[in-house]
Amino acid sequence: MALVVSTGELHFLNEAGEVAYIETWRSALARYRDNCKANQTPEINLIGRHVPSQLAPTNMVHTTARLVLHR
């Protein structure tokens, strides 16, 4: 088990080393909420406070890190 804390974007690479998908806090939160709705489970507040979408930060500083997992 590992706890990974990431700031900025998480880039998932395909076999050729090209970016296949980019995960941000917004896309991760949307996937979580969609999963809760699809499975009819209550959402847990993951961000600690309510942040209306019109107030959510859009100009965050992004850092890039590469995590390579080998089998």
What does pTM read for this prediction?
0.53
Residue 56 backbone phi and psi in degrees, to 5: -65, 145
In angstroms, the CA 65 to CA 57 distance is 21
Length of the chain: 71
Confidence (pLDDT) at 22: 93
Query: What are the beta bridge partners of residue 13?
Result: 19
pLDDT in tens, 18-53: 999 999 888 988 999 999 999 999 988 877 665 555
CB 13 within 8 A of CB 20: yes
Distance CA 16, CA 47 (A): 34
Does residue 64 surpass a pLDDT of 60? Answer: no
Confidence bin at 63 (pLDDT 50/70/90): very low
In the chain, what are the domain boundaries?
Answer: 9-58+65-71
